Amino acid sequence: MTKISLEELVSFLKEQGFVFQGSEIYGGLANAWDYGPLGTLLKRNVKDLWWNKFVQNNKLNVGLDSAILMNKDVWQASGHLSNFADPLIDCKHCRSRYRADKLIEEATNGSVNADGFTDEELVNYIKEHNICCPKCGQNDFTNIRRFNLMFKTFQGVVEDSLSEIYLRPETAQGIFINFKNVLRTSRKKLPFGIGQIGKSFRNEITPGNFIFRTREFEQMELEFFTKPGTEMEWFNYWRQFCMDFLVSIGVDKDALRFRDHEKEELSFYSNATTDIEFLFPWGFGELWGIASRTDYDLKQHMKYSKVNLEYLDPETNQKYIPYVVEPSVGVERMMLAILFSAYNKEELEKDSRVVLKLHPALAPYKAVILPLIKKNHAAKAQEIYDALSQKYSINYDDAGNIGKRYRRNDAIGTPYAITIDDDTLNNGTVTLRDRDTMTQKVIKVEDIEKYIDEIIKL
């Protein structure tokens, strides 16, 4: 169980400056969110950690930053134009609109996963199990229509079908269409991966649960190209790698589980898929999808572009289309799981405190500099802040008594509070307070970096 409800978390994050309602001063835009000073830092840290682990520290992998806008044929080839659609159903009585699979999932408290159901199966299930409209309580729905989730726009000044383009609904296709470019320029040999972080857009029918499902979000995707026949080995490797990564950055291990897709649920091009799910306050939800996508995407792009995307195996001299294993995760979803895991309210002897026990590598600020008495210690505090902020994000807080400043920084997850006092001026020492244990020790100014470096390691 999470230690805070969704509503409480949303209000806490707004209060602290992590996440604001998008377009707030104009009455907001539904399901759009802006990231404040702390949310921006947390988001950057999430992306940096992913990048380090999946790209920078792995000699098999390289990075890419492909365009959001792509040739329309990309989406024809990938199948998104014809298949990337959700089953839309309307209540005839009150006109509320639902995603039919989600309606079933919610009515069965998540015990039925209707993701792979055909339209006929969805309709039958809703009828047979007398699933009613959550708003008006009637069981009187329209037939299912397929609603394509891609945002359409126009390129250039003429708004006709020739200038129609789409905002990408996943970053993955940008990787597939650059397979040949990356292969040639990086001189990689199989197996190798291409990682990418970037915005994706989906006109979701039922966005919601705060930043869990939105229409604009960021993805961190790795397309790992393998020799056919070895893909299961790599699928199992990345499946575990992703789970270990989540645990290493502080996502509550007891709230995580693997959910392997049953055969009937698998996409037609996939020979294995697992979701890593997190227990959110509304139940388990997909956090990270790991899919073995066979050679489907490259084959499709080869067919539609007429460019040969085969790989020439230098060992066997054989040509073949690589198989792909894809771990794909949303930045915001990962942030949400991190925040639910880190949030704690603790009763202390005299009062209570909220503390975000974020892994120090994720913490927006690595330390806060606290001049004990502004007029005596501000100059030295500024000097220490200037030196440390060359290397880390550092907070500076000189307002209110020390106790209040500790609490403020506990609540935003700052791992160390560093107090500058007369001893700093006279002996070159500071008091270092640990966020989680609240213990304090006196250390030399020149040792501060050593302490920070030690805790931000993964």
Q: Residues in the site for ligand GAP, rule: CB under 6 A?
A: 170, 172, 202, 204, 213-214, 217, 219, 221, 286-289, 326, 328-330, 332-333
- DSSP letter assigned to residue 80: H
Min CB(97)–ligand GAP separation in Å = 16
Question: Do residues 436 and 418 touch, judged by C-beta distance below 8 A?
Answer: no
Which one, 235 or 416, has the nearer CB to ligand GAP?
Answer: 235
CA distance 236 to 220: 19
Which one, 221 or 421, has the nearer CB to ligand GAP?
Answer: 221
Which one, 326 or 410, has the nearer CB to ligand GAP?
Answer: 326
Min CB(204)–ligand GAP separation in Å = 5
CA distance 86 to 84: 7
Which one, 99 or 202, has the nearer CB to ligand GAP?
Answer: 202
Min CB(223)–ligand GAP separation in Å = 8
Residues 6+ apart with CB under 8 A from 277: 256, 257, 258, 259, 284, 285, 286, 287
Determine which helix (DSSP H) or strand (DSSP E) holds 58, and give its type and residue range.
none
Which one, 34 or 453, has the nearer CB to ligand GAP?
Answer: 34
Radius of gyration of the chain measured on its C-alpha atoms: 25
Min CB(260)–ligand GAP separation in Å = 14
CA distance 75 to 81: 6
Q: Which residue number is nearest to ligand GAP in terms of Cβ?
A: 330
Which one, 321 or 329, has the nearer CB to ligand GAP?
Answer: 329
Min CB(231)–ligand GAP separation in Å = 16
Min CB(453)–ligand GAP separation in Å = 31
* Surface-to-core class of residue 281, CB atoms within 10 Å of its CB (0-12 exposed, 13-18 middle, 19+ buried): middle
The strand pairing partners of 431, in sequence order, are 419, 442
The strand pairing partners of 419, in sequence order, are 370, 431
Which one, 214 or 431, has the nearer CB to ligand GAP?
Answer: 214
Record the tokens describing residue 342, joined without a space: 């880190």
Which one, 197 or 452, has the nearer CB to ligand GAP?
Answer: 197
Cα pseudo-dihedral 160, 162, 163, 166, rounded to 10: 110
- Residue 189: CB atoms within 10 A of its CB come to 14
Min CB(169)–ligand GAP separation in Å = 7
Min CB(328)–ligand GAP separation in Å = 4
Which one, 270 or 389, has the nearer CB to ligand GAP?
Answer: 270
The amino acid at residue 221 is E
Which one, 106 or 449, has the nearer CB to ligand GAP?
Answer: 106
CA distance 323 to 299: 10
Min CB(326)–ligand GAP separation in Å = 6
Helix (H, G, I), strand (E, B) or coil at 117: coil
Determine which helix (DSSP H) or strand (DSSP E) holds 353, and give its type and residue range.
strand 352-356
Min CB(113)–ligand GAP separation in Å = 13
Cα angle 147-30-135, degrees, rounded to a multiple of 5: 70
Record the tokens describing residue 152, joined without a space: 């359409």
